């Protein structure tokens, strides 16, 4: 069976937001592109991540004005990243160990190239299992016909 890598399951080319953007801008952009997470920084230098949940719980719930609060004030600073060639099982282990839902993916030059989510890994693992089971079933049927 072929080795699946993160590149096979990542969401490519995520939009990156500047650390000095305000939360209103971030939330509006998330709505426009239908995503709940954005890397913060540039493709060359990642400084954090921000989610719709961060905006709700770290800002709105504490009475911070989204038009005046900067992304860098509430973003998550610690960002885990993997390379595009990382094996899916290895990425799943990183997610499990660190109790996170998403990983940033970087290309060979160290630039942000995608985001992979726990749900994406689960979906891909389920698809791979289903395909493997189908192949085994077909092989068994062909073996019976040949016998």
Task: Give whichever of 13-22, 38-47, 138-147 has the largest mean pLDDT.
Answer: 13-22
Q: What is the pLDDT of residue 147?
A: 61
Structure tokens given for 34: 């239908």
Domain assignment of residue 113, yes or no: yes
CA distance 115 to 78: 15
Q: What is the pLDDT of residue 122?
A: 73
CATH number at residue 126: 3.10.580.10
| Confidence band, pLDDT 50/70/90 cuts, at residue 5 | confident
Domain assignment of residue 46, yes or no: yes
Whether pTM exceeds 0.85: no
If one counts the domains in the chain, the total is: 1
Q: What is the mean pLDDT of residues 5-16?
A: 92
* Tokens 């971030």 belong to residue: 26
Burial of 138 (C-beta count, 10 Å sphere; 0-12/13-18/19+): exposed
58 DSSP 8-state letter: I
The tens digit of pLDDT for each residue in 23-64 reads 999 999 999 999 999 999 988 899 999 999 999 999 999 999
Domain assignment of residue 1, yes or no: no
Domain assignment of residue 119, yes or no: yes
Give percent of the chain above pLDDT 90.
Answer: 64
| Confidence band, pLDDT 50/70/90 cuts, at residue 136 | low
Given a cut of 80, whether residue 17 has pLDDT beyond it is yes
Q: What is the pLDDT of residue 119?
A: 77
Mean pLDDT of all residues belonging to the chain: 87
Cβ atoms 108, 83 nearer than 8 A? yes
Domain assignment of residue 41, yes or no: yes
Domain residues for the domain of 10 are 6-146
Domain assignment of residue 123, yes or no: yes
């Amino acid at each position: 069976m072929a080795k699946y890598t993160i590149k096979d399951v990542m969401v490519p080319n995520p939009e990156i937001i500047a650390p000095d953007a305000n939360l209103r801008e971030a939330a509006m952009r998330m709505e426009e592109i239908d995503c709940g997470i954005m890397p913060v920084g540039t493709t060359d230098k990642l400084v954090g991540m921000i989610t719709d949940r961060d905006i709700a719980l770290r800002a709105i719930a504490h009475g911070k004005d989204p038009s005046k609060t900067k992304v860098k004030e509430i973003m998550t600073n610690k960002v885990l990243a993997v390379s595009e060639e990382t094996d899916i099982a290895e990425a799943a282990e990183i997610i499990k160990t660190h109790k996170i839902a998403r990983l940033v993916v970087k290309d060979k030059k160290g630039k942000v190239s995608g985001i992979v989510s726990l749900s994406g890994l689960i979906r891909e693992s389920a698809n791979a299992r289903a395909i493997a089971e189908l192949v085994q079933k077909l092989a068994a049927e062909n073996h019976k016909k040949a016998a």
